[in-house]
Chain A
Amino acid sequence: MTDAAELEARERLARLWIEAEPAVRAFVFASISSFSDAEDVVQKVALTVARRFDEYDTERSFEAWALWLAKSRVIDHYRVSGRDKLVFSEQLVDQFADSLISRQSERSARAVALETCVEKLPDKSRQLLELRYEDGASAEAMAETLHSSAGSVRVMLHRVRNLLADCIQTELGKEARC
């Protein structure tokens, strides 16, 4: 490959990957509980995508291809610890991927809206998110810190996510009306 062609291929890859990465992240984060493990796997997917980019068939959806590679990396992750049964079934992965892909057009708007919505949250809810998402504490670890039960922490987290989802929906609606 000439330098110019290689540069062009790399730029194309970077563009496609930036589009597809949120879906890959969502899939991997739903498949693996630990944030650090999931982040490692996402990086491995990025590496695989970059290494095997010349195999990518441009007729196909790049995102579907990246998600397919992501599934293999998730399988690798669980295979190491002999927990293969934890991998989503083939059919489930396909449906999950379809659903992620169908949200492609609004994904970046949702990410932007999330910033605004987190800002609007009551301090207590935001502190909860800081523990879970910034520090990476699980519901059980959070319960210990907050002198509460894991069950009520889960309920609280669920409610905060609901609040955010509603807020994002409202923000997107505002944008659509503008």
Chain B
Amino acid sequence: MLSEERRRELDRLFDGDLSDEDRVELQASLESDPEAIDWLAGRALLHANLRRTMQRRGTETRTQTQPQPSKKRPVVTWSRSHSWMAIAATFVALLGLVLLLRLASDQTFATLEKTRSALWESGELPTADGSRLGRGTLRLVEGLATLRFDSGAEVILEAPANLTLVDSMNCVLSKGTAVSDIPDSALGFRIKTPSADVVDYGTRFAVSVHEGTGETHTQVMEGRVQVEYATSDRVVELRTGQRNTVSGETSGEAKDSGEQEPRTIPVTQVDYGPDWRLLETSKDIYTGRVSGHESEVLLYLKTGGPERVSYLGFDLSGIDRDSFEEVELLLHFAPTGWGLASHVPDASFSVYGLVGEVPEWDESILNRRFPGEPGEIRLGSFTVPRGVQKGRFQVQTDALKDFLLERDGSVITLKIVRDTKETEGGGLVHGFASRRHPILPAPTLAIRQTPR
């Protein structure tokens, strides 16, 4: 049992004027005194509760007696301002938790101000107009989106683009174009790209990053930016009307733009090196057509409900198949406008090669079902994330290469099937560009051959 003297000594911790030396001494005396620690813990709870209780009582008394000057406590007139601070502190104590929790979960630093015809790939950030944004990546598949960082920086994102928000002064552009307008409050705003950091010193400027190569194009409409190279400590300064390209190790000089438009996407849509040969379908069609729902330019895919299966014919005549090193199938997906994307989870698709007795087929006969009963070999698969309806998807497997090597005859047939069923009726119909699509590339086999 602690002596009264010891308790009085320990209680000094709660009198508000313990000197640093006394505190150190008191704490040291506790090290070998578990009973004292236990007593102190109880006292600390009382002390902390008293603060809250007395503050609340004070607030209540004041509210009740506000019209007349309080006669109750003449001794405290000297500390009126302190008392009001105490009342304020009480409110903080009451509201503190709620506000703090909200504040902590609200670690946002930018606003998605407005969008134009925007189509987003699924991601961790909200994409509704007016949404507050924190750290995370925005994946804009189509359209324009205007972001306002809390620093004042405005960034217009042009699809297709991926932008990772870091904080109110930093972001990372891994693909696409960002056009920025930076007020004085955001001087030093930085857009990082795979090949450079573009640091702004009060301007309007555009940065484009080419996916795959990481090539960075910067063009200054007004003001001044610095382009810092990722692979060296070189810095190039650009002024109004100047542009610059950073590509891998090659760092470009500042050039005058003239009337030239900035290039925002790579020249070739299917970008492969010189060893690659690109072979488009010679015929392609899908089965399971629903009257009024069909498309001439897209090949549909769906499972569950009316099934849609696509067939691709590639004519390999004249190509030396023994020289194949790598083979990749490329499909360019586009929205079909049918069905609800929210009713289909991440969707997996399989590619089959038809074997055995594969009949000669042409695009006119495939209205209901594929003719004959050929066998099939599964050659690979790919996944299209939920909500995504656009983009290039590819399959590159040994099975696909072997299939091409082992087939007799000049024309081979591939069959594409969606494996994933919709979770509810009326789910999305996926589609990819056929050889009749006016803009998107046809289904393509990219083949790397041994150089002769």
- Interface presence of A161 (CB below 8 A): yes
**Nearest CB on A from B391, distance (A):** 24
- Interface presence of B18 (CB below 8 A): yes
Q: Is B7 within 8 A of A132, CB to CB?
A: no
Chain B 44-59 interface 0/1 with A at a Cβ cutoff of 8 Å (1 = within): 1111111111110110
- Interface presence of A134 (CB below 8 A): yes
Residue among B27, B57, B100 making CB contact with A88, cutoff 8 Å: B27
- Chain A hits for B101, CB < 8 A: 10, 13-14, 17, 46, 50
Q: Given the complex of chains A and B, what is the CA–CA distance between A130 and B80 in angstroms?
A: 12
**10 further interface pairs, Cβ-Cβ under 8 Å (given A96-B41, A114-B50):** A14-B101, A33-B23, A34-B16, A36-B85, A47-B104, A89-B27, A132-B54, A135-B83, A138-B16, A145-B75
Chain A 36-65 interface 0/1 with B at a Cβ cutoff of 8 Å (1 = within): 100100010011001100000000000000
Residue among A39, A85, A141 making CB contact with B24, cutoff 8 Å: A85
- Interface presence of A110 (CB below 8 A): yes
Known contacts A115-B53, A133-B54: A99-B41 contact under CB 8 Å: yes
**Nearest CB on A from B211, distance (A):** 28
Residue among A39, A85, A99, A137 making CB contact with B37, cutoff 8 Å: A99
Q: Given the complex of chains A and B, what is the CA–CA distance between A43 and B37 in angstroms?
A: 25
Q: Is B92 within 8 A of A39, CB to CB?
A: yes
Most buried by B among A13, A29, A47: A29
Listed in ascending order, the chain A residues whose CB lies under 8 Å from chain B are: 6, 10, 13-14, 17-18, 21-23, 25-27, 29-30, 33-36, 39, 43, 46-47, 50-51, 83, 85-86, 88-89, 91-92, 95-96, 99-100, 103, 107, 110-111, 114-115, 118, 127, 129-141, 145-146, 150, 153-155, 157-158, 161-162, 164-165, 168
**Nearest CB on B from A129, distance (A):** 6
Most buried by A among B12, B45, B78, B85: B45
Q: Report 18 cross-chain contacts, Cβ distance below 8 Å, ordered by A residue.
A: A33-B13, A39-B93, A43-B100, A46-B101, A50-B103, A95-B34, A96-B37, A96-B41, A99-B41, A110-B46, A114-B46, A131-B76, A133-B54, A134-B54, A134-B83, A135-B82, A139-B15, A150-B17
The B57-113 residues at the A interface (CB cut-off 8 A) are 57-58, 73, 75-76, 78-79, 82-83, 85-86, 89, 92-93, 96-97, 100-101, 103-105, 107
- Chain A hits for B16, CB < 8 A: 33-35, 132, 136-139, 141
Known contacts A46-B96, A95-B37, A137-B16: A30-B44 contact under CB 8 Å: yes
- Chain A hits for B43, CB < 8 A: 30, 161, 165
- Interface presence of B408 (CB below 8 A): no
Known contacts A50-B101, A99-B37, A137-B16: A130-B30 contact under CB 8 Å: no
- Interface presence of B40 (CB below 8 A): yes
Residue among B7, B37, B100, B105 making CB contact with A158, cutoff 8 Å: B7
The A interface, classified by DSSP as helix, strand, loop or mixed, is helix
- Interface presence of B271 (CB below 8 A): no
Closest 7 CB pairs of A and B: A50-B104, A138-B16, A99-B41, A133-B54, A138-B17, A26-B44, A30-B44
Residue of B nearest to A150 (CB): B17
Listed in ascending order, the chain B residues whose CB lies under 8 Å from chain A are: 7-8, 11-18, 20, 23-24, 27, 30-31, 34, 37-38, 40-55, 57-58, 73, 75-76, 78-79, 82-83, 85-86, 89, 92-93, 96-97, 100-101, 103-105, 107
Q: Is B89 within 8 A of A27, CB to CB?
A: no
Q: Given the complex of chains A and B, what is the CA–CA distance between A76 and B282 in angstroms?
A: 70
Q: Is A51 within 8 A of B40, CB to CB?
A: no
Most buried by A among B38, B43, B100: B100
Q: Is A161 within 8 A of B46, CB to CB?
A: yes
Residue among B14, B23, B42, B100 making CB contact with A86, cutoff 8 Å: B23
Q: Is B100 within 8 A of A133, CB to CB?
A: no
Q: Given the complex of chains A and B, what is the CA–CA distance between A96 and B10 in angstroms?
A: 14
Q: Is A46 within 8 A of B97, CB to CB?
A: yes
Most buried by B among A26, A100, A141, A154: A26
- Chain A hits for B89, CB < 8 A: 35-36, 39
Q: Given the complex of chains A and B, what is the CA–CA distance between A110 and B436 in angstroms?
A: 79
**Nearest CB on A from B204, distance (A):** 35
Q: Is A134 within 8 A of B11, CB to CB?
A: no
Q: Is B75 within 8 A of A50, CB to CB?
A: no
Known contacts A88-B27, A134-B86, A139-B16: A154-B11 contact under CB 8 Å: yes
Q: Is A165 within 8 A of B53, CB to CB?
A: no
- Chain A hits for B85, CB < 8 A: 36, 136
- Chain B hits for A91, CB < 8 A: 31
Residue of A nearest to B30 (CB): A92
Q: Given the complex of chains A and B, what is the CA–CA distance between A10 and B100 in angstroms?
A: 12
- Chain B hits for A127, CB < 8 A: 73, 75
Residue of B nearest to A13 (CB): B101
Q: Given the complex of chains A and B, what is the CA–CA distance between A42 and B20 in angstroms?
A: 21
Q: Given the complex of chains A and B, what is the CA–CA distance between A130 and B85 in angstroms?
A: 14
- Chain A hits for B52, CB < 8 A: 111
Q: Is A165 within 8 A of B12, CB to CB?
A: no
- Chain B hits for A100, CB < 8 A: 41, 44-45
**Nearest CB on A from B76, distance (A):** 6
**Nearest CB on A from B412, distance (A):** 44
Q: Given the complex of chains A and B, what is the CA–CA distance between A154 and B156 in angstroms?
A: 65
